[in-house]
Amino acid sequence: MADIRPFCMPKWGIEMTEGTIAEWMVKEGDAFTRGQTLCLIETAKITNEVDAEYDAVVRRMLVGAGGEAEPVGTLLAVFAEPAATDAEIDAFIAAFRPADTQVAAKAGDSAPPPAAAAPAPPPAPAAAPKKIVTNRAISPEALKLAEAEGVDIEDIEGSGPGGRITYQDVHQAMRPAAPPALRGTAPLDAEVARIFASPLARRIAARHGIDLSALTGTGARGRISKGDVLALVPQPSAAPIGFGTPHFVPGENRPQIVPFDKIRKIVARRLTEAKQQIPHFYLRVSAQADALVALRKTANVILGCKASINDYIVKATAVALVRHPDVNVQVHGEEIHRFPHADVAIAVASPKGLVTPIVRQADRMRIDQIAAATRALIDKAAAGRLSYDEMDGGTFSVSNLGMFGIEQFDAIINPPQGAILAVGGINRVPVETDDGGIAFESRIGLTLSVDHRAIDGAAGAQFLATLKSLIEDPEALFA
């Protein structure tokens, strides 16, 4: 028998339970070599490239790109040698079982009871469900239901992403074609009754003569909602109003409903837990920034780099953390983990939400090395290509909104870290000189959010004092 191998949903990190195929780099029938990128898999935190570990041919793809999230261990594709027959591939798929059924099973499914040691043969065994072989995108549960009930899936229009057939689509296809009894509307023919729409949407469509079959629903599983139909209802034109007439007729203000994506869900959950469970307190200070601004221009020319003010803040923060290890900590239950080096996470706004990639051991890096590292991480975040290793850990976080004109703000701690630094913009402010006159200087606002369970106020204040001195005397960063 030819060598046939499964390609299953991988597991990265203990928190990963499911993933989504974001893009296939190969198609069914393609031959690939070891090291070639096969696909991009998106999780709640990252998007990872999956490379081939051996040479083979893509014989069958079971999960398409852009579909629903699949549990860890789900069979995504089958790879084999060219000599493998279709019958062997079908038999392999039919016999495949995930290595860990508890992980691969969907929530709400229950494992089948173990077979008895010596079961008696039933007097009249029922015929096994007819297996369905298709190239259409269909969820495993929908395929199982269609096989059990003998439903022809070729005539079903999938409502899932990319036209994928869902469990609800198969269940809907099993329903009788008789029209539902709707009060206040004319009787529906069988074809209209099969359209997946809410009762209110049907009534509005019937009242205004709108063909529901031409609509694409925006509701759950492609259901046509009231808003979808109202968007096609012609609005009455308002009578012309004379110039200067103090009359205003407001139109309908319907919201655009945007569901949370995976990253925003996880960020929302973690920030809510952090704010509820971590006793925050805040320390605020401002530092004179004229010397830092002037040094940056000169140093960038000498080093041949384009380090930003934030790169210098990261460097100064890392140096201050090493001098104050009581702040360079993580909190794990009733334990405090102190670190000898500073792994500084930087908050980055990406198209998928807020992410915090990490500059490892920033205290040991030069300014030009930090600038190169942060630029690479920001570019990866913008492309959605940050790996799990680039996001995992971190001993401290820096969140900078100064480039947006924000003077000062309070950041939420990123657990399990013990503190986070919020950096505002650099502003010109008037100050009194020694001779009683008025002069202007540049100042930058800093706010330290601290976990009071692990870090005392005095320790946080001493850290901020060191950080302020490094910003006001930036030549010490090159010592």
Q: Which one of the listed residues 208, 332, 337, 452 is annotated catalytic? A: 452
Phi, psi of 170 (to 5 degrees): -65, -40
> Is 452 a known active-site residue?
yes
Look up residue 260 and give its two tokens.
Answer: 């949370």
Catalytic residue ranges: 452
